[in-house]
Amino acid sequence: MVIRVTEPKGQDMRRKLVVGNWKMNGSRAANAELLAALKATGPWIAEVALCAPMPYLADVALSLQGDAMAWGAQDCSAFDSGAYTGEVSAAMLAEFGCRYVLNGHSERRAMHAEGDQLVADKAKAALAHRLTPIVCVGETLAEREAGQTDAVVKRQLSAVIHTLGHCISQIVVAYEPVWAIGTGKTASPEQAQAVHALLRAQLKAATEHAGDMKILYGGSVKADNAAALFAQADIDGGLIGGASLKAADFAAICRAAG
Ligand code: PEP
């Protein structure tokens, strides 16, 4: 099997980006069906990428050859190689033509005890191999109710800014309030925009390219709420979990980003 490795492109000046996060779902047959349906529906005006579970990445890469959709992984190691059983390095992903990698998804922060510095180190490893890290930040319900949203997301992003230095401009940020992920509760467009504006301001203090960086919203985005979220000034697309598993729903969200 020969997989063409494409050169990663720079960030496309705030063209909307919609990323599907399949999480630990799928099968070879179900993935083939989903990919065929999406390929038949696209391309979209927005850039679209799919983050699949590790064992399926080679299948996805092969299926998407010649298609406008990109693909990515849901995590990578902070290390290049060595005694890290179960880990997959950014170098390995890059060898297959991977474009994006999620770092610091809240499910990994919560279930795998990934702290801010580890997430930043993973993003650094990804960039070193010319992958684009999509760094996820977001507060829990308890943190929101305690009025800590701003402090939490700023702390999470700050670790990445300090670790990447001027390379911070090469990442994508995803604001994903933990209380909205997989719960059916979405942040209102105004709630999301307020946090996105805060993150943009923090990036502006770190890089002159902040205005060109993409900040995605994630958390129960559906076909019927996507357009209002994507219309906000600092929301540059979405990170889509559950709805990315159904071709018609995901395609509608991609269209809403156009
Ligand atoms: C996610 O997994 O990143 C996510 C946003 O999930 P959902 O869309 O299902 O809330």
Quick one: which atom of ligand 1 is closest to the CA of 136?
A: 3
Classify burial at 47, counting beta carbons within 10 Å of its beta carbon; exposed 0-12, middle 13-18, buried 19 or more. buried
Q: What is the pLDDT of residues 118-158, one digit of tens each?
A: 999 999 999 999 999 999 999 999 999 999 999 999 999 99
Task: Decide: 181 in ligand 1 pocket, CB within 6 A.
Answer: yes
Residue minimizing CA distance to atom 3 of ligand 1: 241
Q: Which residues pair with 101 in a beta bridge?
A: 73, 133
pLDDT the model gives residue 3: 55
Average pLDDT, the chain: 95
pLDDT the model gives residue 69: 97
pLDDT the model gives residue 194: 98
Task: Decide: 74 in ligand 1 pocket, CB within 6 A.
Answer: no
Is the pLDDT confidence value at 5 over 80?
A: no
Check residue 246 and report its DSSP letter.
S
Annotated active-site residue 112? The verdict is no
Sign (positive/negative) of CA torsion 64, 119, 112, 245? negative
What is the CB-side half-sphere exposure of residue 185 using CA atoms within 13 A? 8
The angle subtended at Cα 93 by Cα 86 and Cα 114, nearest 5°, is: 50
Residue minimizing CA distance to atom 2 of ligand 1: 241
pLDDT the model gives residue 9: 47
Q: Pairing mode, if any, of strands 47-51 and 215-218?
A: unpaired
Task: Decide: 26 in ligand 1 pocket, CB within 6 A.
Answer: no
pLDDT the model gives residue 14: 83
Domains and CATH numbers, the chain: 14-256 (3.20.20.70)
pTM confidence score = 0.95
